[in-house]
Structure 1
């Protein structure tokens, strides 16, 4: 069965990955170097590595079911499922381990509707969701850390520590919104009852809000990948999808 979508036709790469054919080629080269195309026992892969990477990206971008996606690549539903399970973790973003002294980070949590109720809980969006703590570099807007997903009813203040994001950042200066009180992060000044904020505090809050908005812009770009609007993957699948999409986002920004 011949497929419709293939990486050998460059026009398919940009819509599904957001990468130029040159960037996509570099990504495939890195994955091959990391062992993604190693010879394995049993049945060989039905698609070359380039097409397998494109398939995973297409799944994350469109959120089509396996039954819908597989014919587009000319393979079976079970083969498409195996490719996603194998390559998804390999596409994951590796957290940055070191930060320059003058680095400023921004953290915020985002909810991803997730159908696996073993890891999701009903949240403020009234859907079963997972809470993902995402940390970006304030200067470059690159994603540097993504915490492990927690149930969606977990507030950001607890999720910051429990997801592992706090440990990954260490003592690096990090900006957050008002939902992180008592965490040691740089948060907006709060007005006490019966008091007004001084002019300098109001000015600081305005500057803080403008800088913190950068992480919201990152979320807006990442949520164009439809799997982050309704994730059907189980177990670590939603975590791998978030990390893989973060890596694609960084590659796009890096040029």
Structure 2
């Protein structure tokens, strides 16, 4: 099953490339930290901080800070309510524009293979630039609902049929705009495909680095493909 799903992820990436003709091509670096603070066997606080830089280290991009309270139904199934603050630098307005999100999610982890399914529903408030200038950056807010489906499949690397601390991760996430959306009236928002190599430092700590391909569509219908060098740290710990 895991091999079939891996091929499906690769097929999705190929289709994404085929659909992305005549789009703007850009390059970014993403630095991400994903933590989970365990309270007890049922409750935990997952959170992440992500710095997304455009064109290397010189240009501003986006900062994402997100966290939530998670309840584990059992070892395979988890539900969460969370909040995210996402300021994004606007070149046109020459200022940072804030975004507030409330989100609900359900995670299912497979028993036999290292595969995670995540379904997320977001309510978003995105600040709009003020023509009066950066001293008062937000003139108005636009509201939108969005849904996301995420899959991450981790494949262990073996040496002489014995497991090692190295792995390969395949990941894909699709974003779709929903009803009552002032941010965009188009169904497709974006898709992210990641292939990464990683190393399990300890049982609760791992790092990986890879290539992410992000296809984004704005409300005008214009598309951008971001080629991203992605660094990830994953850390679980007890409170």
For the criterion TM > 0.5, the same-fold answer is no
For the aligned pair, the TM-score class normalised by the smaller chain equals: under 0.3
Select the structure of larger CA radius of gyration.
1
Structure with the larger helix share: 1
TM-score (norm: length of structure 1) = 0.21
More strand by share: 2
The higher-RCO structure (CA 8 Å, 6+ apart) is: 1
TM-score (norm 2): 0.22
